[in-house]
Amino acid sequence: MIQAVMENDLSDLAVSSCDDKKRLPDLILQFLGNPQQGADSVVEVRLSPDDYVLEFVEDDGSHECMLGIAADDAEDENVFLRGYYTVFDRDNLQIGFARAKH
């Protein structure tokens, strides 16, 4: 079972303008290995603001930005996997990550 722990409140990452991306931090997600399988290591996945801020061009040509992450399970707001090639190995109960090349 995967457990996610959110140590910081997402409200600190509000985006009111696309220029806000410059002040936002990288987010580091940590995944713990399964100690029962001898994997007690920590895998870190780093997301830059370019990974987690969505930018849209409006009909009038203006740019709008919004966070692509949310504290709930809203599919249209969570973009974590967009920046990574992800392999789900159900037979061995493993997940693998590699940086995607877009």
Residue 96 has pLDDT above 80, yes or no: yes
Residue 24 inside a domain? The answer is yes
Residue 56 within a domain:
yes
Is position 69 within any domain?
A: yes
For residue 87, pLDDT beyond 70: yes
Task: Give the integer Cα–Cα distance in Å for 72 and 85.
Answer: 22
Residue 19 falls inside a structural domain: yes
Confidence of residue 1 (pLDDT cuts 50, 70, 90): very low
Q: Give me the CATH number covering residue 24.
A: 2.40.70.10
For residue 66, is it within any domain?
Answer: yes
Q: Which pLDDT does position 4 carry in this prediction?
A: 45
Which range of residues forms the domain containing residue 42?
A: 11-99
Rounded to 10 degrees, what is the CA torsion of 73, 79, 85, 88? 0
Q: What is the pLDDT of residues 30-86, one digit of tens each?
A: 887 766 666 667 888 888 888 888 888 989 998 888 888 766 655 555 576 777 888
In a domain, 2, yes or no: no
The candidate with the shortest Cα–Cα distance to 32, out of 5, 59, 66, 69, is 5
